Amino acid sequence: MNGPDQIHAPIPCSDCGIYQLCLPTSIGQADVDLLDKIVKNRRIFKRGDYLYRLNHPFQSVYAIRSGSVKTYVLMDDGRLQITGFHIAGELLGLSAVNTRVYSCEARALETTSVCEIPFDRLEELGQQVPSLQYQMLRIMSREIAHNQELMLLLGRKNAEERLATYLISLSSRFAKRSYSATEFNLSMSRGDIGNYLGMAEETVCRVLARFEQEGLIAMQRRLVRLKDVDRLSAVARGNGKSESPAELVG
């Protein structure tokens, strides 16, 4: 039987038999550099370039060295849904497959350098790269927790709470890799943010403007500075409106 810290090979989709994987997960800048050194398969993408563009999954995982990437799915009715933004230090695979998805794509938001890792080397690399020693199961488990958080966000939170949550989340992701956690570049457009958070582009603008007026943030085009993280966190948690936590009985 397996030890708990081994990497498992990816598993095929139980419906279609094709491999799938989900791991928009942070492994840290150091381990990305390490991977880059071992794998020697560096690639550069320019803004708008596709990292992949597929009707179905895929052969590689990408460790982002610098820059940023958005992933999204195209639904069978033509709608586009952004599933995540990924920044330096993070591992990028493919988000889950479901029947209504026509194609999964990932494209660079700015000039982006990645290390492309073929699937069949993942196991071997797990021996050498500390953060990959977390097995897939653990990584996926984190992904599920993250999605549940996001579901709460989409189902319950209003525009201000969503955007505050988003900024705080970005901030902590930047913090993990020793960039500034309070001043960073939103490489994605307002429209992208709106799509991701389930609100109109105009609302994103208006709420950001409101945050600025209230002294929570400072903005200059796509550069944000969080001026009052505490208060912003409070907004993200939904303080302000007095929520009655009605304990429902089934």
Residue 78 touching a copy of itself (CB under 8 A): yes
Dihedral sign from CA coordinates of 194, 75, 141, 94: negative
Please state the closest distance from residue 62 (CB atom) to DNA, in A.
Answer: 23
The answer to whether the beta carbons of residues 159 and 207 sit under 8 Å apart is: yes
Residue 46 touching a copy of itself (CB under 8 A): no
The answer to whether the beta carbons of residues 192 and 82 sit under 8 Å apart is: yes
Residue 28 touching a copy of itself (CB under 8 A): no
What residues pair up with 72 in beta bridges, in sequence order? 82, 105
Candidate list 16, 54, 152, 219; residue touching a copy of itself; CB under 8 A: 152
Residue 242 touching a copy of itself (CB under 8 A): no
What residue 200 binds from a copy of itself, DNA, none (CB within 5 to 8 A, per partner kind)? DNA
User: How many residues belong to the site for DNA (CB under 7 A)?
Assistant: 22
Q: Which is nearer to DNA, 1 or 248 (CB)?
A: 248
Residue 199 touching DNA (CB under 7 A): yes
Residue 156 touching a copy of itself (CB under 8 A): yes
| Part in contact with a copy of itself (CB under 8 A); list of ranges 38-46, 106-114, 176-184, 225-233 | 106-114
The answer to whether the beta carbons of residues 86 and 174 sit under 8 Å apart is: no
3-state helix, strand, coil in the chain (%, to 5): 35, 25, 40
- Residue 206: which residues within 8 A CB-CB, separation 6 or more? none
Distances (CA, A) of 245 to 136, 161, 241, 242: 36, 17, 12, 9
Candidate list 202, 225, 237, 239; residue touching DNA; CB under 7 A: 202
- Contact residues for DNA (CB under 7 A)? 47, 158-160, 189-191, 198-206, 208-209, 219, 221-222, 249
